[in-house]
Amino acid sequence: MQLWDCHGRENQRFRLDNGQLKSGSLDVAGADPRRGARVIAYTCHNGRNQQWEWANGQLRSKLNKRCLDAEGGNSRNGTRLLLWDCHGGANQQFIWRA
């Protein structure tokens, strides 16, 4: 998964369904609990590595309570998304639009 400017097409549409962020599903690759683990789109299987909590603009993995994070604090198109310790920085803040 990577950051990209909003354009509203299907590949940027997700829904939160019982803790699972679905388009495919936002998935912690290999259920890796370590800081820096890759976040990917994957077929939905309802594992803990696909369970997320939305709170205060952050997405927290139920696997390990780490936050979805834009790598290196970047906001450029193509910046990789990964898991990192939650710190509330701008690179961990996301906007949910219904």
pLDDT in tens, 34-92: 999 999 988 888 899 998 888 888 999 999 999 999 999 999 999 999 999 999 999 99
pLDDT-based confidence at residue 25 (cuts at 50, 70, 90): confident
Work out the average pLDDT over 1-22. 77
Domains recognised in the chain with CATH numbers: 10-92 (2.80.10.50)
Instruction: Calculate the dihedral angle through the C-alpha atoms of 71, 72, 76, 77, rounding to the nearest 10 degrees.
Output: -20
Burial of 17 (C-beta count, 10 Å sphere; 0-12/13-18/19+): exposed
pLDDT-based confidence at residue 20 (cuts at 50, 70, 90): low
Residues pairing with 42 in the sheet: 25
Residues 57 and 93: beta-carbon distance below 8 Å:
yes
28 vs 7, 8, 76, 88, CA distance in Å?
Answer: 24, 24, 22, 20
